[in-house]
Structure 1
Amino acid sequence: MIGKAVHIGVDLAIVSAFLAAVKRNTGLAPDFNQIQNETARYYGSKYLDLGESMFDYSVAALSSSGYFKRK
């Protein structure tokens, strides 16, 4: 049960990081203003903020690694 919850949590974090990368590279982002529920809007925004943080951390870690270089 706990393993499945961790698996789903990791999957959600990966999707959030992917959406953050799409937003950063293309400017496309979900329109939370169309959601009527204010709580859902708030947590949707926080979910994408988590992805942005993960994306920033990953870029910083990979850019300091010797295995990656900028083109």
Structure 2
Amino acid sequence: MKGMRYMLQHFTYKPMFEGGQLPGWTFSFHYKNKRYSGDYRQDGSIIWAGETPPDEDQVKKMIHELMTFHVYE
């Protein structure tokens, strides 16, 4: 389906270290019926745990938006 925008579903995140202090968070979500996970670092970089999702740049933008909303607000 051309032009259809997929959303991240069941997005969850938690601090990498107890106490919620930086340097980052682990996250997971479903995208196009597949589960992905990784680490979100303090500098905004993403390290994938396993397979990289298709449309990686678009997915990274969605993750940045979600993390900015949940962690920094």
TM-score, structure 1 length as denominator?
A: 0.36
Pick the structure with greater CA Rg: 1
Which structure shows the bigger proportion of residues in helix conformation?
A: 1
Identify which of structures 1 and 2 has the higher relative contact order when contacts are C-alpha pairs closer than 8 Å and 6+ apart.
1
Which structure shows the bigger proportion of residues in strand conformation?
A: 2
TM-score, structure 2 length as denominator?
A: 0.35
